[in-house]
Structure 1
């Protein structure tokens, strides 16, 4: 585009009013300034845009062609301004959250239920993957916020702790009874059972592997799955012993569907919380979400 936007604004206004005097009043500039701008635009484009008469001005064929496109451009700008105003008034925004499928189901959704009530015009996208993948995407500035287990090193990540979680091992009464029939003692269950664990890319699995190593627990049979809901369901059909988060099997423990296996040395509790990259510019939507989860109880 060879002309600046003000030249086309003047052309557009003159074409609409069909009168230089009226256009001058509407734009709050002098008539000579409008005439000079039109002249420069015509010289630049190499064609006459208006026919002048005592009654005003009228578009030439070239002017009509240009006006069609200029009109469309200014109408698009007007629509954009209106939508921006509505967006500001309504608090419209977008938030992308990274979270594992398990934490999404048991922790994030209750938060979002209340957050959406307060901020119904913020569009939310959820990207489900492991904590390690969420951290990577946060560092790459591809997510606004993540719900994760607290990592050993936070680097450039701000972490807000929500609560502690406790990893436990569970199985059905029937499965434990069958191990007992085979002569497996209570303190040897993990070494002799089929263990259902999350895959090695998952931070929970890495945490549990550290526990096994520190306590010199050698394993025989392992089934690896991608999410904890599968571990819970497989444990409930007596496929083996599942490593799960205690809060997420409260109902099964209360009704006896699953039994917690006592450990000689308990697994240390760990923290879960929201995290975001402190190096990014915090959007209005993220600022509202941060304020919400810091005050939510």
Structure 2
């Protein structure tokens, strides 16, 4: 039987052209490399080298063997990658979401139910999420509406309402509700990577958004500055009302979302137990 090591030895000889250089790069002795090549020829029952008194080189069969062995090594590496990825997926619940709040909520739910699995998640555009669910990149995806697809099932699992977070001195602080139009034209703090909620800033074309990528800095600015910002009922449930602020609900329909957890119908039996607890 051909040993994998012999393939590497032959390829090394082809690369470095001499037994001494190949042996040096392989960190073995030249006699060990010579015996390996001889054993390979015996196993294949063919001659791979042209041998003269002072020189050894690959013949045409040897050159073909090198190309075939390179393919085998490449296929073996790809096989290892695919097996590792398959094994990772067997132990990982992958979640693709359209917004931060449902990402946090679903991550918590999955982590508590699947104690033996790793949870990974990311925020992506909805079309990418749907494609990723179908090609098994994601175990679950979160969308702001039900997906009409015969292969996909969706369960409503949470809602989120956006609020303006205003400093006490803001002129609209005494209103019971505020529209996006009323706030358009101001400077507003905004977190990056908000996914689906990017539809809200787009409704305020005259507003200058000061976008922050670091969440801790974002919260520091909210506490220390007089700039308005956004928050939501979900955020306030976990983090409380921002200090020195008044929160006022936004009236526009774009400021409210119903989120759905979506999965492939043929996986329903596999996730039945978890799906039963989703709204509990």
Instruction: State the TM-score, normalized to the length of structure 2.
Output: 0.50
Two-structure CA RMSD over aligned residues (Å): 4.2
1:123-151 residue CA offsets vs partner (Å, 9 max, x unmatched):
223032235343342243211112x2424
Partner of 1:80: none
Is 2:100–2:195's contact at 8 Å kept on the other side of the alignment? no
Q: Aligned to 2:184, what secondary structure does the other structure show? A: helix
1:149-181 residue CA offsets vs partner (Å, 9 max, x unmatched):
42475445322111221122213325x26x99x
Distance 1:102 1:157 in 2: 22
Against the structure 1 CA distance between its residues 231 and 189, is the aligned structure 2 distance closer, same or farther, given a 3 Å change threshold? farther
Against the structure 1 CA distance between its residues 254 and 235, is the aligned structure 2 distance closer, same or farther, given a 3 Å change threshold? closer
Partner of 2:187: 194
Is 1:171–1:259's contact at 8 Å kept on the other side of the alignment? yes
1:24-82 residue CA offsets vs partner (Å, 9 max, x unmatched):
xxxxxxxxxxxxxxxxxxxxx99xxxxxxxxxxxxxxxxxxxxxxxxxxxxxxxxxxxx
Against the structure 1 CA distance between its residues 126 and 93, is the aligned structure 2 distance closer, same or farther, given a 3 Å change threshold? closer
1:105-128 residue CA offsets vs partner (Å, 9 max, x unmatched):
741243134303xxx43x223032
Against the structure 1 CA distance between its residues 223 and 149, is the aligned structure 2 distance closer, same or farther, given a 3 Å change threshold? farther
Against the structure 1 CA distance between its residues 231 and 139, is the aligned structure 2 distance closer, same or farther, given a 3 Å change threshold? farther
**Which one of the candidate residues 123, 133, 136 is aligned to 1:129?**
123
Is 1:232–1:244's contact at 8 Å kept on the other side of the alignment? no
Distance 1:264 1:104 in 2: 21
Distance 2:263 2:228 in 1: 35
Distance 2:143 2:270 in 1: 22
Distance 1:277 1:98 in 2: 13
Distance 2:94 2:107 in 1: 14
Structure 2: state its 5+ residue gaps: 2-43, 46-89
Q: Aligned to 2:210, what secondary structure does the other structure show? A: strand
Is 2:92–2:118's contact at 8 Å kept on the other side of the alignment? yes
Per-residue deviation at 1:234? 3.8
Q: Which has the larger radius of gyration?
A: 1
Distance 1:111 1:172 in 2: 34
Distance 2:119 2:98 in 1: 13
Distance 2:100 2:252 in 1: 25
**Which one of the candidate residues 139, 154, 161 is aligned to 1:159?**
154
Distance 2:136 2:209 in 1: 35
Per-residue deviation at 1:245? 2.2
Is 1:232–1:242's contact at 8 Å kept on the other side of the alignment? no
Instruction: State the TM-score, normalized to the length of structure 1.
Output: 0.48
Structure 1: state its 5+ residue gaps: 2-44, 47-91, 181-185
Distance 2:125 2:215 in 1: 13
Partner of 2:96: 98
